Amino acid sequence: MLQVGPVNPDVQAALAGEFGALRLPDAPGEQEDFLALHAGNIRVAVCSGRFGVGTELMRRLPQLRAVVNFGVGYDTTDVAQARERGILVSNTPDVLTDCVADTALALYLDVLRRTSAADRYVRRGDWARTGNFPLAVRASGKRVGILGLGRIGGAIARRLEAFGCEIHYHNRRPADGVPYSYQASAEELAAAVDVLVVAAAGGPGSAGLVSARVLENLGPEGYLVNIARGSVVDEDALVPALAGGRLGGAGLDVFAHEPEVPAALLELDNVVLLPHLGSGTVETREDMARLTLENLRSFLHDGTLATPV
Please indicate, yes or no, if residue 152 is contained in any of the structural domains: yes
Q: Domain check: are 72 and 177 in the same one?
A: no
Catalytic one among 18, 32, 221, 258? Answer: 258
Half-sphere exposure of 60 (CA within 13 A, CB side): 17
Q: Domain check: are 7 and 121 in the same one?
A: no
In this prediction, residue 2 carries a pLDDT of: 97
Which are the contacts of 65, defined by CB distance < 8 A and separation ≥ 6? 43, 44, 86, 87, 88, 299, 303
Q: Domain check: are 37 and 106 in the same one?
A: no
Q: Domain check: are 78 and 200 in the same one?
A: no
Structural domains in the chain (count): 2
State yes or no: cis peptide before 259, omega within 30 of 0: yes
Mean pLDDT, each 10-residue run in order, the chain (309 residues) = 95 95 92 95 94 96 97 92 97 95 98 97 96 97 97 97 98 94 98 98 90 98 97 97 97 96 96 96 96 97 96
Q: Domain check: are 76 and 181 in the same one?
A: no
User: What is the CA angle 278-279-281, rounded to 5?
Assistant: 120
Q: Domain check: are 60 and 179 in the same one?
A: no
Q: Domain check: are 295 and 171 in the same one?
A: no
Buried b (16+ CB within 10 A) or exposed e, 118-156: beebeeeeeeeeeeeeeebeebeebebbbbbbbbbbbbb
Look at residues 51, 52, 115, 97 and name the one whose alpha carbon lies nearest to residue 79: 52
Contact 168, 184 (CB under 8 A): no
Which are the contacts of 130, defined by CB distance < 8 A and separation ≥ 6? none
Catalytic one among 170, 229, 235, 285? Answer: 229
Catalytic one among 114, 168, 276, 285? Answer: 276
Please indicate, yes or no, if residue 308 is contained in any of the structural domains: no
CA distance 272 to 252: 6
In this prediction, residue 54 carries a pLDDT of: 96
Look at residues 278, 305, 304 and name the one whose alpha carbon lies nearest to residue 95: 278
Residue 276 a catalytic site member: yes
Q: Domain check: are 144 and 182 in the same one?
A: yes
Q: What is the 3-state secondary structure (H, E, C) of 109-134?
A: HHHHHCHHHHHHHHHCCHHHHHCCCC
In this prediction, residue 305 carries a pLDDT of: 97
CA distance 220 to 292: 43
Q: Domain check: are 115 and 78 in the same one?
A: no
In this prediction, residue 279 carries a pLDDT of: 93
In this prediction, residue 257 carries a pLDDT of: 94
Look at residues 277, 278, 273, 276 and name the one whose alpha carbon lies nearest to residue 117: 273
Q: Give residue 262's domain range.
A: 97-273
Residue 229 a catalytic site member: yes
Residue 257 a catalytic site member: no
User: What is the CA angle 158-272-259, rounded to 5?
Assistant: 105
Burial of 33 (0-12, 13-18, 19+ CB in 10 A): exposed
Q: Which helix (H) or strand (E) holds 88?
A: strand 88-90
